[in-house]
Structure 1
Amino acid sequence: MDEPIDIYNEQNEAQNIIQMRSEAHKKGLWHRSAHMWVYNDNSEILLQLRSAGKIIFPGKWDVSSAGHIGEGEEALESAIRELQEEIGISAANEDLQFYKISKQSSQYGDFLDNEFHYVYFLKFNDDISNLVLQKEEVEKIKFYHTDFLKTELNNNPEDFVPHGKYWFDVISEVEKRSNKNANK
């Protein structure tokens, strides 16, 4: 689904320009997205398998939930909306823990993606079997232990969206957060 998004410069400053998402990707314009990494107290990260119908990276494991921040929308508002839409998790503002803004630039064929990812964490220890997935976006979800993920990312990187070092940054942060919770 194409949608209007706000455009920013390379320093993440608003340009008072609105473009459709598809145009922003064609032109390589900087814009914002929200990335939500769901984890539990067992050092596991919830990943989504992208739907086979996705244009970019179909059938690859990816961030728990992510989406473009719409025109005039705040990052946290977008994060909560995407969690509910994509993987059926209802979260309140105070449930999400802001981590950082990650500046990412990548190209996939004619698709030039220049994004500022607003990265959030959500601790979720509930059963995931009853969550309702957005089938156009998500094939399935599964919790993976961080040790397993590190091995898989090194041995089978083709199974994952190529986020590079960002994967290992997130894994390290989840391990810290899980260990902190385990020591309480």
Structure 2
Amino acid sequence: MSKVTDVILVNEQDEPIGVMEKMEAHRKAVLHRAFSIFIFNSKGEMLLQQRAQGKYHSGGLWTNTCCSHPLPGEDTLHAATRRLQEEMGFTTLLEKVFDFVYLAEFEHGLTEHEFDHVFVGLYEGRMTPDPTEVKDYCYKSLEEIEATLLSHPQKYTAWFNIAFPKVQQWASDNLMKNFPQKLSS
């Protein structure tokens, strides 16, 4: 398993401007490249994971299927595919659908300031999540997730609260119309 020790520092246009040790970047709130993966099944339900308690921030919170940072010099799609296998124990075809920048403060003086590339995929087979990364996982309907985000946003990670409405909009425009056929071809 590849552990990210350095992250790619970027400007607001996602152009690389340097490299920094991951925890230092999170302490200093420096903008860096990241990715988030949202996996759906054929019913249009989203695969959520509950982060392991031992994560350096947001332990025990629910979030999208997988997220991380590409290694310096690594293509972001390749990193997303690699990390999905390492974290959730499966691979599937991924498609980039949008990106966004966010800034969020966490416990222990850490901050996420990320240029986040969002990928989607379709999968409903066997999974073998890494227990040091994932405490639990489940598929939920977008309506159920939306209701829970409104009633209990603190149960979810900061980036999921930001990204979910954008992914939900993408899903309403694309998911059941042509996305499954596109990914299976």
Runs of 4+ in 1 over 6 A off after TM superposition: none
2:71 corresponds to: 70
Q: TM-score, normalised by structure 2?
A: 0.87
Q: TM-score, normalised by structure 1?
A: 0.88
Q: Counterpart amino acid of 2:170?
A: E
Alignment of 1:49-68 (within 5 A): 49-68=50-69
Q: Counterpart amino acid of 1:31?
A: H
CA contact (8 A) 2:4 2:70 kept: no
Matched, 1:176 2:173: yes
Alignment partner of 1:42: what SS? Answer: coil
Q: Counterpart amino acid of 2:119?
A: Y
Match of 2:99 among 93, 101, 111: 101
Matched, 1:24 2:19: no
Inter-partner Cα distance in structure 2 for 1:140 and 1:88 = 13
Shift of 1:72: 0.9
Inter-partner Cα distance in structure 1 for 2:180 and 2:85 = 30
Alignment partner of 1:142: what SS? Answer: strand
2:132 corresponds to: 136
Alignment partner of 1:168: what SS? Answer: helix
Q: Counterpart amino acid of 2:9?
A: I
Alignment partner of 1:59: what SS? Answer: coil
Inter-partner Cα distance in structure 2 for 1:181 and 1:73 = 29
CA contact (8 A) 1:67 1:82 kept: yes
CA contact (8 A) 2:53 2:135 kept: yes
CA contact (8 A) 2:122 2:180 kept: no
